[in-house]
Amino acid sequence: MPRPHLVEPLVMLATVVQWLVLSIVTGAVIGVGCSVFLRILFATEGRVYAVPLWLQMSLLVIGGLANGLLLHFGYRTSRSSLKDSPIVSVNEQHGKMPFRTLWVKPLAALITLGCGGSAGKEGPCSHIGASFAAGIGQLLHLNPELRKRLVACGVSAGFASVFGTPIAGAIYGVEMLAIGRIRHDFLFPGIVAGVTAFQVSKYLGVPYSTYHIAFVSDFTELLFLKTVLIGILCGAAAWVFVELLQVAKRLFGRLRDRYALWPPLVPLLGGVVLALLIMVIPPDYLGLSLPMMERALHGEPMPYLGFLWKALLVAITLGSGFYGGIVTPQFVIGAVLGGAFAHVLGLASALGAAVGLVAVVASASNAPIAAIFMGVELFGADSTLYVAGACVAAYLIIGHRSVYPAQQIAFSKSSWILARADLPVGDEKIRLSYGLLRWWSARRRAASRPKASDNDKLE
């Protein structure tokens, strides 16, 4: 059958127009919703740094109980069996989200961050974006495939509105869905929605930070290799971070099951643990910890174990049942780690912090492309090559782990690793490839054979 040479371009033009309209409307709505949330957050978060220790400890315990009660009773208002995870919505629920519980997670995040819980600000915004986009899709009676795309671009718009990086935010919302795969048909809606949400939030007065990091304009191989080493360190730190999250969730889950604890009491217990920890860990690691990240990006000395303290507090906060975002902590962990170890490699502390910030995002979220664009948007075009090497190295080092257990594995990161496609990373068991196992078995057999003596050789 001959190809319709004139019809196809017209259909594609109609597709572009369709997504321009849908994405602009969706991005504008999400920009307004995220701006309202962020303005409330900025008015309440960060005040715990200046209060006495006893009050910090008390707020953490009270905040844990408030989170537990809110999440326990808030979700009872939903009559739907749908999960409110954006990744699950796109991968498994055909772009549907429970709209009745839209308010629960943003309010829980305000409580978490307001009382000093260590978490991020982007989770509620991606939730707002996905929920609004799903609602618009249902209101317009879009088919399942269009709803999936709209929810993905809603997530992109939420991230762009939070971080002020519209291109990186758009790609992050698509790349976070699966390891090793990007749906290119999601990119145009995501970019348009992300740019729109960012501009709306900027117009409504949401502040965005700008950074001036002195990268070398002329490429040098030595500096590139040093930034790759920073990326390897960041991949290892992201590995520790993900493992701590999983261990904390298992431990608090076992305590709940073993002692038949009422679910709202589990976050309260997490608040007690946090309150005890801040007696020995500086309060700078509470909340968003943005002042610490800012100091790292300005070249101030960072403690070597600072990244570990932040990872530990975040793991206990989220693992015990507080709600909050998971990307902002990655920024802080990466910036503190990169700033602390930069001078060991002969790098400026600010440069190491900048590279580390995006490298941890590339690995812990399995989003290297979005992280590279984030580095370019935050630190300028001179950072591109150095950020790219660090991000890809970190992405490989962490292996098949993720801060998002619902993230699917599309392709294995190594030919020596076997992983079934399209299964959530939290459910899949990674195995060594048969070729590597055969090679290893052959090496072990060769090593176990007795070596011939010199007399045997002469005979």
| One domain for residues 36 and 143 | yes
> So what's the pLDDT on residue 8?
83
| One domain for residues 282 and 301 | yes
Residue 424: enclosing H or E segment and its boundaries?
A: strand 423-424
> So what's the pLDDT on residue 188?
92
| Domain presence at residue 362 | yes
Helix (H, G, I), strand (E, B) or coil at 449: coil
| One domain for residues 266 and 322 | yes
Provide the residue range defining the domain that includes 425: 417-447
| Domain presence at residue 130 | yes
> So what's the pLDDT on residue 279?
93
| One domain for residues 148 and 234 | no
Cα distances (angstroms) measured from residue 453 to each of 333, 445, 447: 56, 19, 15
Question: Is 338 a residue whose pLDDT tops 60?
Answer: yes
Q: Confidence class of residue 456 from pLDDT cuts 50, 70 and 90?
A: low
Helix (H, G, I), strand (E, B) or coil at 38: helix
pLDDT, average across residues 369-378 = 94
> So what's the pLDDT on residue 2?
55
Percent of the chain with pLDDT over 90: 63
What mean pLDDT value characterizes the chain? 88
CA geometry: angle at 370 spanning 368 and 372, to 5°?
70
* Contacts for 334 with CB less than 8 Å, ≥ 6 apart: 234, 237, 307, 353, 356, 357, 358, 359, 360, 361
> So what's the pLDDT on residue 421?
72
Count of structural domains within the chain: 3
Residue 92 CB-density burial (10 A; 0-12 exposed, 13-18 middle, 19+ buried):
middle
Can you give the CATH number for the domain in which 38 is found?
Answer: 1.10.3080.10
The β-bridge relationship of strands 408-409 and 178-179 is parallel
395-408 per-position pLDDT tens digit = 999 988 899 988 88
Q: Confidence class of residue 459 from pLDDT cuts 50, 70 and 90?
A: very low
| One domain for residues 182 and 325 | no
- Give the least confident one: 206-215, 256-265, 369-378, 423-432: 423-432
Question: Is 341 a residue whose pLDDT tops 70?
Answer: yes
| One domain for residues 376 and 244 | yes
| One domain for residues 100 and 180 | yes
| Domain presence at residue 1 | no
Distance CA 190, CA 169 (A): 8
| One domain for residues 19 and 129 | yes
Cα distances (angstroms) measured from residue 16 to each of 1, 9, 22, 133: 26, 10, 10, 18
pLDDT, average across residues 259-266 = 94
- Is the pTM higher than 0.95? The answer reads no
| One domain for residues 356 and 322 | yes
Provide the angle, in degrees to the nearest 10, between the axes of the packed helices 328-341 and 221-258: 130
Distance CA 40, CA 42 (A): 6
> So what's the pLDDT on residue 435?
58
Distance CA 393, CA 372 (A): 12
In sequence order, what are the beta bridge partners of 409? Answer: 179, 423
In DSSP notation, 207-261 reads: ----------SS--HHHHHHHHHHHHHHHHHHHHHHHHHHHHHHHHHHHHHHTT-
> So what's the pLDDT on residue 382?
86
In sequence order, what are the beta bridge partners of 178? Answer: 408
> So what's the pLDDT on residue 434?
55
276-324 per-position pLDDT tens digit = 999 999 988 999 999 999 999 999 999 999 999 999 999 999 999 999 9
109-126 per-position pLDDT tens digit = 999 999 999 999 988 999
| Domain presence at residue 129 | yes
Distance CA 310, CA 286 (A): 8
203-221 per-position pLDDT tens digit = 999 988 878 887 766 678 8
Residue 441: enclosing H or E segment and its boundaries?
A: helix 434-448
| One domain for residues 122 and 236 | no
Question: Is 267 a residue whose pLDDT tops 70?
Answer: yes
| Domain presence at residue 215 | no
Where does 98-220 have alpha helices with state H? 104-114, 122-139, 144-163, 166-175, 187-203
| Domain presence at residue 75 | yes
| Domain presence at residue 2 | no
> So what's the pLDDT on residue 259?
92
